[in-house]
Amino acid sequence: MNEPFTTEREIESTAAALVEQLERLPEEEARAIFSQLTAPQRAAVVGELETTVSIELLKALPDDQVAACLQIVPRNIAADLVANLPEERRSPILSGLAPEKAAAVSALLRYSPESAGGIMDNRFVAVRVDETVDQSLARVRAAPIKSTDDISYIYVTDAGQKLVGVVSLRELVFSPAERPLKEIFNPEVQFLRVSDDQEQIAQRIQQSKFLGFPVVDEQQRLVGVVRMRDAIRVAQIEATEDMQLMVGMSGEERIWTRWNVSIAKRLPWLGVNMLTTLLAAAVVSYFEDTIARWAALVAFLPMISAVGGNAGMQALTVIVRGLALGEVVDGDALRAVRKELAIGLANGFVLGLAIGLLAFGWKGSVLLGVVAAAAMLLNQVVGALSGVAIPFGLRRCGIDPALASSIFVTTITDVIGFLVFLGLAALAMRVYGL
């Protein structure tokens, strides 16, 4: 509670410039600069840097300097950093903190950094439901709050520390001093549980009418507050993660992530993609004779593959994002399938007609036109349906619905598209004796 926040404003103005430098410089230079900083300066920047970058910088410092820095950092951020440091350094660093801070950080360390318990700030103001307005205001006045903390809403607990409601600071301030809090507080309060995943925070942030969420433990006791700023950060991180997961990335990559780290995250998924495309390769290979005898076919493979894959990505994007925002729930799968079926059929008719005419006009073969049109039509439907099936399926298996989903969807459209196109072509050749 005795953390020096007085020089806060001056530190923050230089922190932004430092953060930018540290992110953009090569690792060694960033470390050299960081080692020159004072503890308050370090504290100001580690709060703003990506966690992975902060950890890299902190790791290079001795335990006592890390402790001096963490002593000044808000406890939820300190806990997040300690959780990411190597196991063997945690207790020496914790014991370098003031006993009170060490206890608070240790308490937060019990929760996963991606849960409400890990994200919440366990320093907050709460008032008691059996107090008067005056008593509540005195409590708020006495609370050690940073000037940037949001206290528009103050949570109300009972004698057993259980969360029972919320009251706005404005209502407190403008109500008669002797009025019982009971009469003015709002018992309808949205809360998170310590074990809730950060995904749920991102989903509920839009629906919340209050700025921030109270967090309760298993006994419904108020143990912390997820502040709006942290909730927004989490929501932005979740959106970034979904976009990256879809194309086979970790969700944590930024432009300043070092290239060797990026490779370690991207290459395995490219490898998976190569393996899945083996299926498409096998299909094409199976029809090698057909292609050798009718080489014009091959010009249409990229088109069927790309346009089918793109249709799949369109459906996929709607579903993945809808699931992430909580706008789409499991029960919506059937509805989504029906909608995508209609879209796939309609788009397939138009695009099938287009590719059919193109094939006929370019290669002068009605048969090729018909085969290409049929494959395009079917592949539009397959793309749209797999764009729904993959994310709902992944979710059903307890996996993030975005995970590598574009790789799976495009593999399906490649395989089915080629199978239909080359299969029909082979059949036609046999029937017409070409």
In the range 28-87, which residues lie near a second copy by CB under 8 A?
Answer: none
Site string for a second copy, 224-253 (x = CB under 8 A): ----xx--xx-xx--xx-xxx-xxxx---x
Distance in Å, CB of 209 to a second copy, minimum: 5
210 touches a second copy by CB under 8 A: yes
Per DSSP, the three-state class of 221 is: strand
The closest of 146, 142, 143, 168 to 155, measured between CA atoms, is 168
Q: How far is CA 348 from CA 363, 406, 414, in A?
A: 21, 20, 15
* Residue among 115, 157, 379, 410 that touches a second copy (CB under 8 A): 410
Residue closer to a second copy, measured from CB, 60 or 249 = 249
* Residue 309, C-beta contacts closer than 8 angstroms, at least 6 positions apart: 383, 409, 410, 413, 414
Pinpoint the alpha helices (H) of 96-156.
99-109, 116-119, 133-142
C-beta of residue 52 within 8 angstroms of C-beta of residue 250: no
303 touches a second copy by CB under 8 A: yes
Distance in Å, CB of 218 to a second copy, minimum: 27
Residue closer to a second copy, measured from CB, 13 or 36 = 13
Crossing angle for the helix pair 366-396 and 333-363, nearest 10 degrees?
160
How far apart CA 349 and CA 343 sit, in angstroms, is 10
116 touches a second copy by CB under 8 A: no
Distance in Å, CB of 188 to a second copy, minimum: 7
- Of 60-68, 82-90, 115-123, 302-310, the window that binds a second copy (rule: CB under 8 A) is 302-310
Distance in Å, CB of 299 to a second copy, minimum: 4
* Residue numbers 411-430 binding a second copy by CB under 8 A: 411, 414, 418
Residue closer to a second copy, measured from CB, 331 or 398 = 331
How far apart CA 98 and CA 114 sit, in angstroms, is 26
Residue closer to a second copy, measured from CB, 96 or 417 = 417
* Residue numbers 338-367 binding a second copy by CB under 8 A: 339, 342-343, 346-347, 350-351, 354-355, 358
* Residue 279, C-beta contacts closer than 8 angstroms, at least 6 positions apart: 411, 414, 415
Q: Which residues pair with 132 in a beta bridge?
A: 180
280 touches a second copy by CB under 8 A: yes
C-beta of residue 205 within 8 angstroms of C-beta of residue 235: yes
Residue closer to a second copy, measured from CB, 85 or 354 = 354
* Residue among 2, 28, 88, 209 that touches a second copy (CB under 8 A): 209
- Of 34-42, 59-67, 101-109, 283-291, the window that binds a second copy (rule: CB under 8 A) is 283-291
* Residue 390, C-beta contacts closer than 8 angstroms, at least 6 positions apart: 316, 401, 405, 408, 409, 412
190 CB neighbour count, 10 Å cutoff: 12
- Of 5-13, 86-94, 116-124, 216-224, the window that binds a second copy (rule: CB under 8 A) is 5-13
* Residue among 86, 99, 176, 302 that touches a second copy (CB under 8 A): 302
* Residue numbers 117-146 binding a second copy by CB under 8 A: 137, 140-141, 145
Distance in Å, CB of 65 to a second copy, minimum: 27
* Residue numbers 150-179 binding a second copy by CB under 8 A: 150-152, 168-171, 173-174
What phi and psi values does residue 120 have, to the nearest 5 degrees?
A: -70, 160
Q: Which residues pair with 368 in a beta bridge?
A: none
337 touches a second copy by CB under 8 A: no
User: How many chain residues interact with a second copy (CB under 8 A)?
Assistant: 113
273 touches a second copy by CB under 8 A: yes
300 touches a second copy by CB under 8 A: yes
- Of 29-37, 59-67, 86-94, 312-320, the window that binds a second copy (rule: CB under 8 A) is 312-320
Distance in Å, CB of 95 to a second copy, minimum: 32
* Residue among 310, 366, 396, 434 that touches a second copy (CB under 8 A): 310
C-beta of residue 59 within 8 angstroms of C-beta of residue 94: no
How far apart CA 78 and CA 84 sit, in angstroms, is 10
The closest of 66, 65, 18 to 41, measured between CA atoms, is 18
What is the sign, positive or negative, of the torsion defined by CA atoms of 325, 328, 329, 333?
negative
Distance in Å, CB of 270 to a second copy, minimum: 6
Distance in Å, CB of 70 to a second copy, minimum: 21
What single-letter DSSP state applies at residue 330?
Answer: G
